[in-house]
Amino acid sequence: MKAATARIGADAARYELENGPPTLSQFNYFQQRMSALGLHDALHTEFEAAAARTAQDMGLMPDHARTGVKDAARANVLAVDGKNHTSPTRYVKGDQWVDKDTGEIKERRYDPNKSTWGEGGKNRVRQGAKSVVAWSRHPASGTRVIAGLTLMRPKHDGGEAAAIVDLITRVQDLNPGLTHVAVDGALRGTHLARLTPRGLVVVNKIQTAPTTAENAVTINGKRFRKKRVHTLTHHSTAFGACEHPIYGIGGGLFEEHVTSDGTVTHTRLPHHTTARGRKNGDYTDWYVQTRIACGRTDPTSGKLTPWTKTFYVPINPTRQDQIDNVNRGEHVRQIPEIDTDDFNRIYGMRADSESGNNGLEHAWYLDRIPSYGYDNQLLTLISYALMNNAVARATHHARAAARPPGQAA
């Protein structure tokens, strides 16, 4: 914030407040000066750096924390979600009105950052501004911090999913202790491929397959697409080569079987561990460790030849995936959605972003963001985030001060 306002020079004194919040005229003047000097990007960058300092001061996303893939602590999980903000006006560019006193035809004020956005993932739309907000918190109430935010422009390059990925990478750069991200189904396998090599465990829902899709399987009441992601071949001297096709379904691994009458069945393979592998000196690749058992019957003697194999299946895209047109990240996940207990425990933390965004919406009069245009709306969101983070920090430290010495947080 200081870096941004320092460029304003002599006008900086105008932003010094005596006692109490700024008046409307002071805030309007601040908006005008920020727009005139083009300081919104600098202010945005400085806000996210300040948010990281606030989070670290509160013990959120600590870089010394060691957590497993499935046992993430609340303070190490970032909840991210998009938020639609109702525009301050329903008018669009070109709408006019007639001054009854003078007969003059005038154009109505409109919001140039207004656009039509999807909402709720159920073919619903809403007109207004669109933001993506990242939240972090402790289990205790009142400790929710906005770790970063993005205000999207109409026809934002890459859409909401690209904005979410960019936001997560910025937050992680400022908070190296971040380990897990909980986000809705906006992210697909191609987006996860940008995040998982950074060491992040991304927990999000897989898109439901249409009921008419032939290459789909229903598990726990939800229909998932299936994709062949691995083939395990072993050779038996007695019986020749044996091939096991491995499919990714609902984030987990399955072996596909075809019976003599053509019936196709799938057997779930155990998800032993989710491990990281080193590549070019960095632990950027992820693998699922699993095991398969095979017993082939000799058609003459009827004897079985038992064979088991523990092996690793890549989670990150491989070179062969490009040849086979496989979106691996869409079908093989670090924490499969079909493993309901592990998945729901961490994915359930995403609901915190819904609560935070609800508070953000109700902060505006009549639930309408009280500003016009990208620059002013970004400044409005940053102002709210500063207030939110200041209250969260004060609440956290007041609670810590009242805690008896030696008692854990």
- The pLDDT tens digits of the residues spanning 123-153 come to 778 888 999 999 999 999 999 999 999 999 9
Mean pLDDT over the full length of the chain? 86
Do 323 and 374 fall within a single domain?
no
Return the higher-pLDDT residue of 261 and 338: 338
- Name the E strands within 74-123: 77-86, 96-98, 105-107, 115-119
Report percent pLDDT > 70 for the chain: 88
pLDDT 10s digits, 372-399: 999 999 999 999 999 999 999 999 999 9
Q: How far apart are CA 66 and CA 56, in angstroms?
A: 16
Range(s) of the domain holding residue 60: 39-205+344-402
Do 175 and 250 fall within a single domain?
no
Do 292 and 184 fall within a single domain?
no
Q: Is residue 17 part of a domain?
A: no
Q: Is residue 29 part of a domain?
A: no
Q: Is residue 32 part of a domain?
A: no
Q: What is the per-residue pLDDT for 373?
A: 92
Do 179 and 229 fall within a single domain?
no
pLDDT at 196 > cutoff 80: yes
Q: What is the per-residue pLDDT for 238?
A: 59
Residue 265's SS3 state is strand
Do 235 and 177 fall within a single domain?
no
pLDDT 10s digits, 320-331: 998 888 999 999
Do 192 and 275 fall within a single domain?
no
Do 159 and 270 fall within a single domain?
no
Q: How far apart are CA 223 and CA 342, in angstroms?
A: 19
144-to-54, 330, 389, 391, 393 alpha-carbon distances in Å: 11, 30, 7, 9, 9
Total tally of structural domains belonging to the chain: 2
Q: What is the per-residue pLDDT for 328?
A: 92
Q: How many residues does the chain have?
A: 409
Q: How many CA atoms lie within 13 A of 344 on its CB side?
A: 4
Q: What is the per-residue pLDDT for 135?
A: 97
Confidence label for 8 from pLDDT (cuts 50, 70 and 90): very low
Do 283 and 351 fall within a single domain?
no
